[in-house]
Structures are given as C-alpha cells and as structure tokens.
Amino acid sequence: MSLAAKQKAIAENLLACEKHEQHLTIVKRFVASSYRVIGVAYKTKGDFARAVLYYNEAIKMQEEINDPKGMASSYNNLGNVYQQQGNFTKALEAHLTSLKLSEKIKDEKGMASSYNNIGLAYQELNEKQKALDNMFKSLTINKKIGNRITEGRNLNNIGIIYFKLGKNELSLQYLLQGLKLRREISDNPGVASNLNSISDCYQSAGQYEKALEYNLEGLKTSTEIGDKVSIIEACNSAGEIRIQLIKKDIKLRAKYEIEARTYLQQAKKLAGETGTIAELNRCNKNLSDLEYTFGNYKQSVENYRIYLRVRDSLFSKESTKKVLQAELSYEFEKKEQQAKLEQAKKDVIVLEEKKKQKLIRNAFIGGFALMLILAVFIFRSYKQKQKVNHIMSLQKKEVERQKELVEQKQKQIVDSINYSKRIQESILTNEEEIKKHLPELFVLYLPKDIVSGDFYWFAKADCKEDLTIKDAKSKNIRAPEEFILCAADCTGHGVPGAFLSMVGTTLLNEIVNHNKITDPAQIIKELAHGLTSTLINKQTAEYNTDGMDISICKINNKEKRIYFAGANHVLYTVNETGVRITEPQIISFNGIFGVDSVKNAYSTALNIEPGTMVYLSTDGYNDQIGEELNKKFLSSRFENLIEQIYKLPAHKQKQVLENRFSEWKGNTKQIDDVLVIGFRV
C-alpha cells in the first residue's frame, strides 16, 4: 500500500499549488484513483472499515470532477466491502448505482462487473433466480469483449448458485470450467476461490475424500496469496469435511479430531478479526456439530447459542469498535496531511515573494505584511486546533467511561440471569433420576433464552387416597405403585416465565408430595387454586392474568396404564396402529386458570400396549418458524415425525427431534422455549 500512499501524497501536494490550477481536474482524478487503490489494499488486509472510508473519499472527489467511469468503479468496490461485512442490502444499492453509471456511458466492462456483483448480492438475499439472471448477463458481456478474468469469476459464481439450488451436476460443470480458465490466465485468487467451491460441492454429495483433496489445494493457494477471506472459507470447509469423515467412520476420530478443531479455531479467529459475519456464524455452527459428534452436548449447545446471537452481541460490538478506531485514525491522517499542504503552500508563497523583491520594494513590503498576517492566522488556527483536540480528548474519555459503566451493568445482569439458570436447573428433576423408574425416556429441553418458562416435574406417587378415575368403561380403579410426570408451559419465556415455572414447581411439590394428591385432574385444580392465590395483587385484589398450560400423567408400570389430564396440551401415544391423540380436558386462553369453567374435569385412563411410546410436548416445537418456508412446523409435521421414530431407542429419538428442529429453524431466531418428553411404559 506504500506506493498508493506516495501517489496520494504527491497528488494532494499538487492540489495545494496554485500554478497547477489549470490541470486541477487531472490532479483530482489522480487523487481519487489513489484513494480507491488504498481502499482496495485495506479490503485485501481485511480492514473493511478503512476501506469504506477511502472509497467514499474517492466517490466524493469523482463527483466534483464529473467522472462517471471512476464513480462506477468506486461504487463497485464499496459494494464488495459491504458484501464481506454481511450488509447485502447496502451492497445491492451500491452495485445498482454502479450499473446505472456504466450504462449511461456505455461501458460494457463496467456493466459486466456490476451484473456479477448484483448477482452475488441477490444470492445472499436468497433471490437465487435473480442472482442467476444477472450472472448470465455478466457472462455474455465478458465473452463478447474478451474479459477472461471476470468471465472466470462468472463461471465460479454460477456454479455456487447451482450448488445452493441443489443442482450438483450443473454446479460442478461450471466450477470446473471456471477453474480451468483461471489456471490458464494465472488468476491465483480466483483459483483459490474455485477450489474451495468445488470442495464444498463434493462435500455436499458425500464424496468426502474428493472434497478433502480440493480443500487442501485451495487452502494452500489461499495461504500463498494471503487472502484472509479465502483462508477462512477453506479452514471452515476443512473442519466440516473432517467432521463428516468421523461421522462416517468413528474409527477416524483419532486421525481427524485435532485437525478439525484446529482448522475451525483458526477460521473463528480470522473471521472475528476481519468482521466476516457469515463465516463466523458458520464456524460456531461447525464447532457445535463437532462437540455434538463426540457427545459433548453442553459445549455443543453453548457453541450453538453463540452461533445464534453472534450478530446481535459480540460481533456487532467489535465491528462498532473497529469502525470508531478507523474513523479516528482517518481524521488524524487527514489533519496531518492538511498541515503538510498548508506548509507547502506557504513555501510557494515565500519563493514568489523572493522573486518579487528584485522588481519592486513595495511588493516586498506587501509580501512581508502578507506573511505576518498568514503567520497570525496559522497561530490562531493552531491554538484553536489545540482547543478542539482537548475537547475531543475529554469527550472520548467520557464515552469510554460511559461504555465501561454500560458493560459493567450488562455483566451484572447477565451474571444474575446465569445464577437464576443454575437455580432453575437445580429445581428440575435430573433426567437420569427419572430413568431409574422409566428407563426408556428422553427429555428435549431447549430454552429460548438463558432461563426458561417451560419446565418438567417428576415424583413417585405415594397414594393414600381412593381415586375415582373415569376410563372407557367408567369403572373405579385404584392404582398401586405409580409415578407423576408433568410438562408445563408458563406465559412468556425468559425471566418472567422462569419465575412462574419455579412457583409451579413449588406448588406441585406441595400438592403431590405433602398433600398426597395423585389424581391428574385434581392436581390441575389444586395447582390453579394455588397459582391464583400466589399471584393475586395484594393492593388491588386483582388477579394476575398470567397463564400456564400443562399436561400431567400418572404412570402405572405394572398395569401398563396411564391416567392423563391436560390444560391446552394433548397427549400423543404411538404404536403400530399409528398416532393416537388424547385431547386436553381443559381448553382455555389462560390454561389451568380456566379450570373453574370445567366443573366436571376428570382424568382419562389409557391402557398402553407393549412397545407404545408416549409423548408430552409444549407448543414451542410446533410453533417454530422455518427459515426456508417462513411457516410454523405445526402439529401435523410433529405427528408424522414421531410416527417415524417411535421404534428407535429413546436417546436416538431425542437426537432426531433436536436435529430436525435445528434444520427447520435454520438461521431464524428461536421464538419460544421447547420441551418434548417421550417415554415407553
């Protein structure tokens, strides 16, 4: 970048000299070109904030001299930086502006470059057909004018779009064409990009050895040319391929585990440094997959949570910090350059005055007076600048102080919520403890936030009362040794829901363990009464409008019988005859608070055939919005899914349910807490 910097300094010195005013347009074009070259250098280094600043300076100067071709090029460069930062909407705006300028002056090369970049932006915005249309427009123009560098870029990008459309054959066809062309013209950055894309295509097709071959070559090429973005992509792919190889054959763990972890950590470090959001998210997801493969479920979930909130937390904070640093640095450089320009102008004035001394004494006196006035002006400007710098320094310190206070308060809040999480987890019954009585059981528990409004509860029923339970034949049944299992969903999620869940857990302990009530319908009535009494406003005697949906099972292992009562929750039983749904006895907007409107609520008795799976679920799983269809998962998909997996061991069912939820959700946010319990009696 030093050559471009020297070019910029020379051009700006020329701008300061009055004798070059007749060539001002040429000089400004030279300066604008220097700014753009410096922006390219910063982009290559991964310093996107400074790249944006210099591209904007170039555009400003090109507008002054009415240079549409230069502006088109600068807008294209600016759009590429926004693309790397993950701001695809702004990238599209910049590239469309560039296209309009190129069309105005009929610059076919510029139009081809803009169509290519517009295609890339549409690809990231999930408008794949528009992306293909623009890529083929660019390819047609480049073939016509013989621009082989951009033609190779088109072939690679078309291959990537077909890959994302799931058309692997077409994808490989264009990617291999692009690789051949780029090798012919020695376009090493393009070769690295092509190799990485071909590796991803083979990986998607399950040809992991072939994918590894192209990945290693791509990583080597990217490292040789020092392209950080390509290195990040290659390292991410290297980790993904090794994870898939281990999944395919667990014996390969010793060979590939350390390599996979090393590549992913390197990708995460570089992505964080450069601000490459998409690749950072991809890396966190890959680390989650790696930990899950080896059974490190806690670390897997933690990495997956980081993946979900990286754009809203750590990354946005770091990005803002880098932009602020770049702006301050740029302002300092600009002021320093301005001082040099003023000094150069002063030197020119002194030389001119010396020449005039030989011609006339009066001119000398006038020139001397002018110098004194200029000196006073410079001194006053210097003092004013010192004052401004002092004010800026104080403001910067105040900003830093306020930032520290905000971060301290945020840490205190997060620490408090994390402590609340530990309290909530200690209240929930340990899954392994439940399995002592119900060996074939799983609990899928995915809070939306740190703490959850969903909770589950288990207890051994110490029955000391005669229970009247309504079954299909309306007979009175007295259960021997039995267990109570509950799944509940409190209003909301996060901290409010967690508070209500802890109240519910406490009341269940009181109702079942102390008052010895084991009839599910009676438990719901007592729970509704207890919550109403607990949540009443003592000042206004008004009841809280919070609600709780719940499903309660009393399980008799010996008789293979279940007694069920629910408020807004259904019970699923699945066997060879299909899925059977037992509707809740209470259907009310406020869940169990609607129990008073159902005076004759009763528990339903179900005889369970051998091999039958029983499922309790809150609404978080079925209500999740999917990334691709932008629709809810819905109960119909859930019923089909459990019918397919009910014969699997419980831990395998949990894995399938969690993976399907993750695939459906994609990059969208989780909208509610998720709780699914399955067991075989």
pLDDT tens-digit profile of 504-561? 999 999 999 999 999 999 999 999 888 888 776 544 444 455 678 999 999 998 889 9
Residue type, 386: Q
State whether 644 and 517 are in the same domain.
Answer: yes
Q: 297 vs 304, 325, 652, 658, CA distance in Å?
A: 10, 38, 14, 12
Residues 485 and 453 in one domain: yes
Please give the full DSSP string across 217-264, using - where no structure is assigned: HHHHHHHHHT-HHHHHHHHHHHHHHHHHHHHH-GGGHHHHHHHHHHHH
CATH number at residue 179: 1.25.40.10
Both structure tokens of 653: 């069912």
pLDDT tops 90 at residue 80: no
Quickly count: other Cβ atoms within 10 Å of residue 127's Cβ. Answer: 16
Calculate mean pLDDT across residues 117-135.
Answer: 88
Please tell me whether residues 594 and 550 are part of one structural domain: yes
Q: What phi and psi values does residue 144 have, to the nearest 5 degrees?
A: -65, -45
> Domain boundary at 400, 424, 448, which?
424
Same-domain status, 452 and 332 = no
Q: Give me the count of residues in the chain.
A: 681
What is the SS3 assignment for 166? coil
The number of domains in the chain is 3
**Domain carrying residue 416:** 323-424
Q: Are residues 433 and 379 in the same domain?
A: no
HEC profile of 440-479: CEEEEEECCCCCCCEEEEEEEECCCCCCCCECCCCCCCCC
CB atoms within 10 A of CB 46: 19
Q: Would you state the pLDDT for residue 13?
A: 61
Distance of CA 464 to the CA centre of its chain: 54
Residue 140 is classified by DSSP as H
Tell me the C-alpha distance between 675 and 453, whole Å. Answer: 10
CA distance 606 to 412: 49
Between CA 330 and CA 338, with CA 336 as vertex, the angle to 5 degrees is 100
DSSP annotation of 185: T
- Which pLDDT belongs to residue 314? 40
- Does residue 613 fall inside a structural domain? yes
The pTM (predicted TM-score) of the whole model is 0.43
566 lies in the same domain as 639: yes
Terminal CA-CA length for the chain: 71
Decide if pLDDT at 420 tops 60: yes
Mean pLDDT calculated for residue range 480-503: 83
Interatomic CA distance for residues 374 and 380, integer angstroms: 10
Pairing of strands 454-461, 441-446: unpaired
Mean pLDDT of 470-485: 60
Domain match, 505 and 407 both:
no
C-alpha distances (whole Å) from 656 to each of 7, 283, 373, 636, 672 are 61, 22, 82, 17, 19
Given 137, 166, 184, the domain boundary residue is 184
In a domain, 190, yes or no: no
Report whether pLDDT(387) > 90. Answer: no
Q: Please determine, for residue 6, whether its predicted confidence score (pLDDT) is greater than 60.
A: no
> Could you read off the pLDDT of 443-464 as tens digits, one per residue?
999 999 888 889 999 999 865 4
- The mean pLDDT of the chain is 81
Higher pLDDT, 602 or 478: 602
Q: Does an H or E element contain 571, and which?
A: strand 571-575
How does DSSP classify residue 543? P
